[in-house]
Structure 1
Amino acid sequence: MTKPLVDLQDCVHERAAGSDRFRLAVERFTLCPGDQIALVGPSGCGKSTTLDLLSLIVAPTRAGRFTLRMPQAGTVAGTLAEPVDVMALWRRGARDRLTALRAAHMGYVLQTGGLVPFLSVRENVLLTRRALGLPCPGPAVTLMETLGVAELERRLPRQISIGQRQRVAIARALAHQPAVILADEPTASLDPSLAEGTMKLLSAVARFQKAALVVVTHDHRLAERTGLTVVECRTGAGASVVRHDSAKAEAAA
């Protein structure tokens, strides 16, 4: 058993737009190193909102517990730092601290890649490492080779295919070796054959880096074929509900 990287309990996010009301209840969500999760469910059920909560982009309305334990620099690999109380940071309005945590310890893969159009493939992949002041290229070259985009390093995003752009986006999200990788419908724009290959590459590289992976997808079967643990976002009684207990997690104190 191990201490979870992410630990949420009784976390609620509510929002309103005119007469429309949305309520997401994360009853329990623990995420440990090496976990690979697929959040599935119908459109509008709160999958992407759950990802936004995990990535510290959206604040919970309230939470019984929301903590992060990230790898501790200068220690034996796998050693986690003391937990950070994320809810306390939101209450204090400590957005700079939340942004720093996200940038250093999380990698985010967008549905459409989100590459900078005027930067080469190589410069896109190195973007996060440069922003964090990490040595370049570091592991980025090996990562590009693994994902099959090393030979494209001098090209601009518009000069490569949609599938290649998505693999470059994965390389960029993983180049700084984050502890948590979050991907929002990373294969939605790809045809089925490319989608499966891309998802399996993402899973394999995350596993190699010993990172936790959370993927939002509509494709339940693709998630199962990739070997991800499927977590359903359930709807009903005026709310969406998410629950996942990592099999690896120690019981919280």
Structure 2
Amino acid sequence: MLTVTGLTVIRGRGRQQHCVRLPHLELAAGQILAVTGQSGCGKSTLLEALGLLLKPEQVEVFQLGQPSIDLAALQRAEKESQLAQIRAQHLGFVLQSGGLLPYLNVRDNIQLPRRILGLAAESERIEQAIVTLNLEHLLNKRPSALSIGERQRVACLRAIAHEPQLLLADEPTAALDPHSARRLFEVFLDMVNALQLSALVVSHDWALVKSFNLPILQAHSEPGESTFALV
């Protein structure tokens, strides 16, 4: 589903420059990797590059999907409109803050990615997920009326509403208490498996990651540089 080789991303300049490297990664459909490492090592930067939000300094192979899309070739050719379309259609994002639009109610937030792509607003799988996440009674409420945990459940569902091929989550449980974090993680894994997505989840909660026995893509950091590898 996702194959990356020789990815290098550079942030900052001079003494503030930090290089993030991903020598090789293969991610299959239905597979989830936890991305871990010390604060400031470049976990979010890596997700931004894989999410087509940040152009890498160098990448040898960058392929997504079945049939495979050659993202590296599109980036080298600076095909920004095509990359934007791929990002909207094939990628899903879960942010630490949730990122819900405050002026839309829960149902409209969930349906937004599908409407943007011209898909039917509702789907059987998403309706089932609404029930699984216990969101039925919240559908007409605005994000401001929700708890942090409720907002994160909605954000997770919105990220998969258009059934993308790759899901990228940046600290989705960071603001939750341990019980809520574990419950959200359980549902998150179930949805990824049910839809056969590929997923990368940045997490600082190593105990939570280990309790689910997830494969780990860990940062090995030196001054000015981090290299991510499976452990």
TM-score bracket relative to the smaller structure: over 0.9
CA contact (8 A) 1:143 1:175 kept: no
Regions of 4+ moved over 3 Å: none
State the secondary structure of the residue aligned to 2:34.
Answer: strand
Residue number among 152, 155, 163 corresponding to 1:169 in the alignment: 155
Q: For 1:204 and 1:233, how far apart are their aligned partners in 2?
A: 26
Q: Which residue of 1 aligns with 2:109?
A: 124
1:32 and 2:17 correspond: no
Match in the other structure for 1:218 = 204
Q: Is the 8 A contact 1:10 1:65 kept in 2?
A: yes
Which of 70, 77, 80 lines up with 1:85 in the alignment?
A: 70
How many angstroms apart in 2 are the aligned matches of 1:143 and 1:176? 13
Q: Per-residue deviation at 1:243?
A: 2.2
Q: For residue 213 of structure 1, what is the amino acid of its counterpart?
A: A
Counterpart residue number, 2:5: 9
Alignment of 1:191-230 (within 5 A): 191-230=177-216
Paired AA for residue 184 in structure 1: D
Distance apart, 1:233 and its partner CA: 1.0
Contact in 2 for aligned 1:179/1:211 (Cα 8 Å): yes
Who is 2:229 aligned against? 243
Aligned partners of 1:28 and 1:244 also within 8 Å: no
Contact map agreement 2:170 2:202 (CA 8 A) in 1: yes
Matched, 1:148 2:144: no
Paired residue for 2:176, among 174, 180, 190? 190
1:178 to 142, 153, 164: 164
Provide the aligned C-alpha RMSD in A.
Answer: 1.4
SS at match of 2:62: strand
Aligned equivalent of 2:97:
112
Deviations 1:130-158, CA, capped at 9 Å, x for gaps: 00111121132222111111211011111
* Superposition deviation, residue 210 in structure 1: 1.0
Deviation larger for 53-62 or 18-27: 18-27
| Identical aligned residues as a percent | 35
Greater helix share, structure number: 2
Which stretch of the first structure deviates more once superposed, 176-185 or 16-25?
A: 16-25
Question: How many angstroms apart in 2 are the aligned matches of 1:181 and 1:16?
Answer: 26
2:39 corresponds to 1:43: yes
Equivalences, count: 230
State the distance in 1 between where 2:220 and 2:112 align: 37
Distance (whole Å) between structure 2 residues aligned to residue 198 and residue 146 of structure 1? 11
TM-score, normalisation: structure 1: 0.87
The amino acid across from 2:198 in the alignment is A
**Any gaps of 5 or more consecutive residues in structure 2?**
none
Gaps of 5+ in 1: 71-79, 246-253
Give the secondary structure class of the aligned counterpart of 2:173.
coil
Q: Does the CA contact (< 8 Å) of 2:55 and 2:75 recur in 1?
A: yes
Q: Which residues of 2 match residues 53-92 of structure 1 at below 5 A?
A: 53-68=49-64, 70=65, 80-81=66-67, 83-92=68-77
